[in-house]
A = this chain, B = another copy of it.
Amino acid sequence: MSIHSSVILGTNVEVGEYAVIEMGVRIGDRVTIGAHAVIKEGTVIGDDVEIGDHVVLGKRPGSNKKMARKPATELPPLAIDNEVVIGSHVTLYRGLSLAEGVFIGDHVSIREQIFIDRHTIIGRHAMIEPNTRIGKNVTIQTGCYVTADTIIEDHVFIGPCCSMSNDKYMASGKGTHTGPHIKAHAKIGNHATLLPAIVIGEHAVVGAGAVVTKDVPEKAVTMGNPARVKS
């Protein structure tokens, strides 16, 4: 292990082989940290957290010259609340906050400027872009892509491999970027596609494989390509 002298460790913390814990990290009680974990500067971890092998926690965003959207440079440290479970090979950015009991599957990557509320499940290999809010008791299943600038309210269910976008003009520099807004208790079927700025109403259901090009009223069921509301 390589643990910086400034790190604050609680009681009964288990740190895996070859883990790297950087300056100013604070770790609560009864936390387990996997082998080869990399926990970056300033990350704050609560009590009873389980962290898998080969994770990278607290990464800062990078960029190149072509990138139109420059990442934020001033970001608060990654904050992981009590009883969070994090799988293997996960990348979590600085500027992310995970509330109590959140579950993050293996191979997930989650960017900055995001809050994920209590007990929400993020399935394996899911990808979540910046500037997004995800409510409590949400399920985002394996392989989902959540675009930037998205709102997902409480108790939403998103099936595996769904995709979303936030830029109607596809990097033409026109318009603003707005992801979908998925209201409470909505259910999205597997492999569905949501276009930018779509609002999915409360308790609405989107069928598997649907391509949703316009708003879906509350409690409505929509399916097909383009998706049409079933009457």
Give which listed residue, B17, B142, B172, B225, contacts A129 with CB less than 8 A. B142
* Chief secondary structure at chain A's binding surface: loop
Question: How many of chain A's residues have a CB under 8 angstroms from any CB in B?
Answer: 71
In the complex with contacts A38-B54, A121-B67, A163-B163 CB distance below 8 A:
no
The answer to whether B127 touches A142, judged by C-beta atoms less than 8 angstroms apart, is yes
> Separation in Å of the A118 CB from the closest CB of chain B?
9
In the complex, A65 has a CB within 8 A of chain B? yes
The residues of B that contact A62 with a CB separation of less than 8 Å are 50, 85, 87, 103
Q: Do A165 and B189 touch (CB < 8 A)?
A: yes
Q: Which residue of B lies closest to A105 (CB)?
A: B109
Does A77 reach chain B (CB closer than 8 Å)? no
Interface readout for A174-202 with B: 1 if CB under 8 Å, 0 if not?
A: 00000000000001011101010000000
Selected interface stretch from A7-15, A23-31, A154-162: A154-162
B170 touches A187 (CB 8 A): yes
Residues of B within 8 A of A157 (CB): 170-171
Does A42 sit at the interface, judged by CB under 8 A? Answer: no
- The answer to whether A102 and B18 touch across the interface, beta carbons within 8 angstroms, is no
Interface string of A85-124 (1 = CB under 8 A from B): 1011101000000000111001101000000000111001
- If the complex has contacts A62-B50, A103-B64, are A160 and B163 also in contact, measured as CB distance less than 8 A? yes
B66 close to A59 (CB less than 8 A): no
Q: A5 on the interface (CB 8 Å rule)?
A: no
A-B contact pairs, 27 of them (CB 8 A): A2-B17, A2-B18, A18-B36, A36-B54, A38-B53, A52-B59, A53-B59, A56-B88, A56-B89, A56-B106, A59-B88, A65-B83, A66-B103, A66-B119, A67-B103, A87-B91, A107-B107, A107-B109, A125-B125, A142-B145, A147-B190, A157-B170, A161-B161, A161-B163, A172-B187, A209-B211, A209-B225
